Structure 1
Amino acid sequence: MNFLELFSGALAQLRFLIPLIVMLIIAYIFKSRWFKGMFGEYLVNKLLSQLPNPDYTLVKNVTLPTEDGTTQIDHIVVSKFGVFIVETKNMRGWIFGSKSQRQWTQKIYRHTSKFQNPLHQNYKHIKTLESLLGIDSSKLHSVIVFIGDNTFKTDMPDNVTYARGCLNYIQRFSQPVFSETEYNQIIEAINEIKLKRGVVTDLKHRRHVKELVAAKEKGR
């Protein structure tokens, strides 16, 4: 067998392997936490875009500076009725939790895992906006949206909802708390203080998150 025959055989095998490798990569991406997070934010973004204009303005994927680094907010809905800070969770399985618990539980068949109470996670977002914008906390509202094949197995607060429930919750607030001028000023202020989107901002935020996780692990 000469070199040409060997090369042709190897090339034929490679042509068979490439589609398989591509399929494995795609499957890995689809199952990754990153993809689930991005896809979940996209779905909620489409949902929140249904809120009527000009009463509501959606600002998405906002990274804000904090005293110890950065914090990232999935969606901010600004209205004359308040500012709604929306945290998205794309998860499946049974979800257990309460307002006061530090960690909630996800159960998929026999597998059980813990994750940070999203209400506590969103509390930092609210305090950051309160500080940067000078808005009273009573006008800032936390909203947690779960999407995916999941079921709440404990009673949840009204502001923890499945996808479409978030629209109903937001639109419950019908009493204006901001004037037209204040409404426009808040939108302008958020766009001014948010960090510019890009690779550097994302890397800084991810590094900050890793540092927080490492600090928690060290403190255990």
Structure 2
Amino acid sequence: MTDAGDVFTTLIKPNLPLFGAVAGLYAVLFLYRRFKPALRGTLREMLVVQGTFRLLKPEGYGCFTDVRVPRPDGGGTLRVDHVVVSPHGIFVIETKPCTGAVQGAEDEAQWVQTFATGSRVAFPNLIWQSRRHIAALAQFLKLPEAKFRPVIFLMGGGTLKPGLPEPVINDGLTAYITGFEEVVLEPAEVERVKAALGGK
């Protein structure tokens, strides 16, 4: 009769690295399937937005991601997806993965994304979210809100239904930002804002 210790020594112990590798692979596959939509959305955002940032001239634009600023009411912080600082304004960019058709209006609390399958998903009005972020940034940076420019960037090849307000785009982020020519911030203000947001 084979001793249990012998079985462990002769069969299991030499193959422990293999068992560990298989278990690790199953764990990775499980996590990938569980979080696949979020991972794809995050990766897409990184590629698109960081690509845009690389196209902006570094001497004219300061680019910041995942900016956290105090709430105007003092109740914690707000997370802003991206901020681009330039003499032509402070662009407050909200990004959202979008593969369906998006419809909504500036005064509607909920917008709707409709997919090819016919399913629909409602999500909060991104213009209202952008306004909250601009108010927080304006207070934090001690600047009037007129110097901020909202941008709602829907990524992923979705379509925009008529009625969505102007700062909602699904393509051409670089062209949209560089299309503003009016100077609203002096060089000293630009540098101060960059420093406050963590720039050099």
The interval holding the TM-score normalised by the smaller chain is: 0.7 to 0.9
Name 2:161's counterpart in structure 1.
Answer: 153
Q: Deviations over 1:118-159 (max 9, x none)?
A: 111111110011111121211101001111142223343221
Are 2:126 and 1:118 aligned?
A: yes
Written as runs of structure 1 = structure 2, the 5 A alignment for 1:102-181 is: 102-108=109-115, 109-163=117-171, 165-181=172-188
Q: Which residue of 1 aligns with 2:66?
A: 61
Cα distance, 1:39 vs. partner?
2.1
DSSP-derived class of the 1:191 partner: coil
SS across alignment from 2:140: helix
Cα distance in 2 between the residues matched to 1:183 and 1:146: 27
Q: Which of the pair has more CA radius of gyration?
A: 2
Residue ranges of structure 1 left out of the alignment (5+ in a row): 193-220
Report the CA distance shift for 1:182/1:107 in structure 2 as closer, same or farther (over 3 A): same
1:20-31 aligned at under 5 Å gives the runs: 20-31=26-37
Q: Secondary structure at the match of 2:136?
A: helix
Q: For 1:79, which of 62, 79, 86 is the aligned residue? A: 86
Question: 1:41–1:74: 8 Å Cα contact kept in structure 2?
Answer: no
Distance 1:92 1:15 in 2: 38
Displaced runs of 4+ in structure 1, greater than 4 A?
A: 14-17
SS of the equivalent of 2:66 reads strand
- Percent of paired sites with the same residue: 26
Relative to the length of structure 2, the TM-score reads 0.81
Q: Once the 2 structures are TM-superposed, how far is the Cα of residue 166 of structure 1 from its aligned partner?
A: 1.9
Q: Please give the alpha-carbon distance, in whole angstroms, between the structure 2 residues aligned to 1:149 and 1:169.
A: 17
The letter of the residue matching 1:64 is V
- One-letter amino acid of the structure 2 residue matched with residue 160 of structure 1: V
Does the 8 Å CA contact 1:88/1:146 hold for their aligned counterparts? yes
Going by fraction, where is helix more abundant, 1 or 2?
1
- Structure 2 equivalent of residue 206 of structure 1: none
- Structure 1 distance, partners of 2:177, 2:61, is 10
